[in-house]
Chain A
Amino acid sequence: MKRWLVALLVLGLSAMAQEALKVGVVVSATGPAASLGIPEQNTFLMLQEMLDRTGGVAGRKVQFVILDDASDTTQAVRNTRRLVEEGVVAVIGTTTTPASLGMIPVVAEAKVPMISLAASKDIIYPVDAQRHWVFKTPQTEELMARAIVADMVARGVKTVAYIGFNDAYGEGWARFFEAEAKAKGLQVVVSERYARTDTSVTGQVLRIIARRPDAVLVGASGTPAVLPQRTLKERAYAGLIYQTHGVANPDFLRVGGKDVEGTLLPAGPILVAEQLPSAYPTKRVALDYIQRYEAKYGIGSYSTFGAHAWDAWLILKPALERALKRVDSAKDLAAFRATLRDEIEATRNLVATHGVFTFSKEDHLGLRFEDAAVMVRVENGRWKLERTFR
Chain B
Amino acid sequence: MDATILSFLLLDGLQNGVVYGLLALSLVLVFAVTRVILVPIGELLMFAPLSLVWLLEGKLPGTLWLALVLGGAWALMARGRGALLPLVGGVGLFLLFLLAKEVPPLAYLAAVLLVVYLGVATYRVFFQPMRGATVLSLLIMAVGLHVAYQGLGLVFFGPEQFRPAPLLSGEVVVGLSWQGVLVLLFAALSLMALYLFFRFSLFGKALLAAAENRLGARLLGIRPEEAGMVAFGIASLLAAFSGLLLAPLINAAYFMGFMLGLKGFVAAILGGLASYPVAFLGALLVGFFESFTSFYASAYKEALVFLLLVPALFYQSLRARTVEE
Given known pairs A203-B9, A203-B291, the reply for A227 and B160 (CB within 8 Å) is no
B134 at the interface (CB under 8 A from A): no
Within the assembled complex, what's the spacing in Å between the Cα atoms of A234 and B294?
Answer: 17
The number of inter-chain residue pairs (CB within 8 angstroms) is 101
Instruction: Mark the stretch among B58-66, B216-224, B253-261, B313-321 that contacts chain A.
Output: B253-261
Instruction: Mark the stretch among B81-89, B94-102, B197-205, B244-252 that contacts chain A.
Output: B244-252
Contact status A207-B295, CB under 8 Å: yes
B16 at the interface (CB under 8 A from A): yes
Within the assembled complex, what's the spacing in Å between the Cα atoms of A35 and B161?
Answer: 12
Please report which residues of chain B, range 227-267, place their CB below 8 angstroms from some CB of chain A when the two chains form the complex: 246, 249-251, 253, 255-256, 258-260
A223 at the interface (CB under 8 A from B): yes
Contact status B8-A197, CB under 8 Å: no
B275 at the interface (CB under 8 A from A): no
Interface 1/0s, chain B 154-173, versus A by CB < 8 A? 10001111110000000100
Given known pairs A34-B159, A223-B253, the reply for A203 and B12 (CB within 8 Å) is yes
Within the assembled complex, what's the spacing in Å between the Cα atoms of A207 and B161?
Answer: 26
Contact status A223-B161, CB under 8 Å: yes
**Chain A positions within 8 Å of B299 at CB level:** 166, 192-193
CB proximity of B206 to chain A, nearest CB, Å: 35
CB proximity of A37 to chain B, nearest CB, Å: 10
**Chain B positions within 8 Å of A32 at CB level:** 159, 255
Contact status A197-B298, CB under 8 Å: no
Please report which residues of chain A, range 91-147, place their CB below 8 angstroms from some CB of chain B when the two chains form the complex: none
Within the assembled complex, what's the spacing in Å between the Cα atoms of A198 and B161?
Answer: 12
Contact of B295 among A35, A197, A206 (CB under 8 A): A206
A301 at the interface (CB under 8 A from B): no
**Chain B positions within 8 Å of A203 at CB level:** 9, 12, 291-296, 298, 301
CB proximity of A157 to chain B, nearest CB, Å: 22
B26 at the interface (CB under 8 A from A): no
Contact of A194 among B161, B251, B298 (CB under 8 A): B298
Contact status B161-A226, CB under 8 Å: yes
**Chain A positions within 8 Å of B258 at CB level:** 197
Given known pairs A210-B5, A255-B162, the reply for A195 and B293 (CB within 8 Å) is no
CB proximity of B12 to chain A, nearest CB, Å: 4
A18 at the interface (CB under 8 A from B): no
Given known pairs A222-B160, A223-B160, A223-B161, the reply for A200 and B16 (CB within 8 Å) is yes
Within the assembled complex, what's the spacing in Å between the Cα atoms of A195 and B262?
Answer: 14
A196 at the interface (CB under 8 A from B): yes
B212 at the interface (CB under 8 A from A): no
Of the four ranges (under 10, 10 to 19, 20 to 34, 35 or more), the interface on chain A belongs to 20 to 34
Please count how many residues in chain B sit with their CB below 8 Å of the partner chain's CB atoms. Answer: 37
Interface 1/0s, chain A 188-224, versus B by CB < 8 A? 0000111111111111101100100000000000111
Within the assembled complex, what's the spacing in Å between the Cα atoms of A234 and B178?
Answer: 13
Within the assembled complex, what's the spacing in Å between the Cα atoms of A363 and B177?
Answer: 51
CB proximity of B255 to chain A, nearest CB, Å: 6
Within the assembled complex, what's the spacing in Å between the Cα atoms of A189 and B46?
Answer: 36
CB proximity of B308 to chain A, nearest CB, Å: 16
Given known pairs A199-B250, A199-B256, A210-B5, the reply for A204 and B163 (CB within 8 Å) is no
A30 at the interface (CB under 8 A from B): yes
A251 at the interface (CB under 8 A from B): yes
CB proximity of A134 to chain B, nearest CB, Å: 27
Contact status A195-B259, CB under 8 Å: yes
Within the assembled complex, what's the spacing in Å between the Cα atoms of A180 and B110?
Answer: 52
Within the assembled complex, what's the spacing in Å between the Cα atoms of A78 and B96?
Answer: 46
Given known pairs A35-B160, A202-B9, the reply for A197 and B256 (CB within 8 Å) is yes
Contact status A255-B161, CB under 8 Å: yes
Within the assembled complex, what's the spacing in Å between the Cα atoms of A55 and B29?
Answer: 66
**Chain A positions within 8 Å of B158 at CB level:** 34-35
B15 at the interface (CB under 8 A from A): yes
CB proximity of B287 to chain A, nearest CB, Å: 9
Contact of A224 among B19, B161, B291 (CB under 8 A): B161
Contact status A200-B291, CB under 8 Å: yes
Contact status A204-B255, CB under 8 Å: no
Within the assembled complex, what's the spacing in Å between the Cα atoms of A30 and B16?
Answer: 31
CB proximity of B89 to chain A, nearest CB, Å: 31
CB proximity of A286 to chain B, nearest CB, Å: 24
Most chain B beta-carbon contacts within 10 A, residue among A192, A197, A207, A257 = A197
Contact of A255 among B160, B171, B301 (CB under 8 A): B160
CB proximity of B324 to chain A, nearest CB, Å: 32
Contact status B250-A227, CB under 8 Å: yes
Contact status A227-B251, CB under 8 Å: yes
Contact status B159-A200, CB under 8 Å: no
| Closest A residue by C-beta to B254 | A32
Most chain B beta-carbon contacts within 10 A, residue among A31, A195, A197, A203 = A203
**Chain B positions within 8 Å of A255 at CB level:** 160-163, 251
Within the assembled complex, what's the spacing in Å between the Cα atoms of A163 and B295?
Answer: 12
B226 at the interface (CB under 8 A from A): no
| Closest B residue by C-beta to A30 | B154
Within the assembled complex, what's the spacing in Å between the Cα atoms of A192 and B297?
Answer: 8
Within the assembled complex, what's the spacing in Å between the Cα atoms of A210 and B171?
Answer: 21
**Chain B positions within 8 Å of A251 at CB level:** 160-161
**Chain B positions within 8 Å of A202 at CB level:** 8-9, 12, 291, 294
Beyond A199-B16, A199-B250, A202-B12, 17 additional pairs, beta carbon < 8 A? A35-B158, A194-B298, A194-B301, A197-B258, A199-B19, A200-B15, A200-B249, A203-B298, A206-B5, A206-B8, A207-B295, A207-B298, A222-B160, A222-B161, A224-B161, A224-B253, A255-B163
What are 20 A-B pairs with beta-carbon distances under 8 A? A31-B159, A163-B298, A193-B298, A193-B301, A197-B255, A198-B259, A200-B12, A200-B249, A200-B294, A203-B295, A203-B296, A204-B298, A210-B5, A222-B159, A223-B160, A226-B161, A234-B177, A251-B161, A255-B160, A255-B161
Instruction: Please name the 3 residue pairs, one residue from A and one from B, whose CB atoms are nearest each other, closest first.
Output: A203-B294, A203-B295, A223-B161
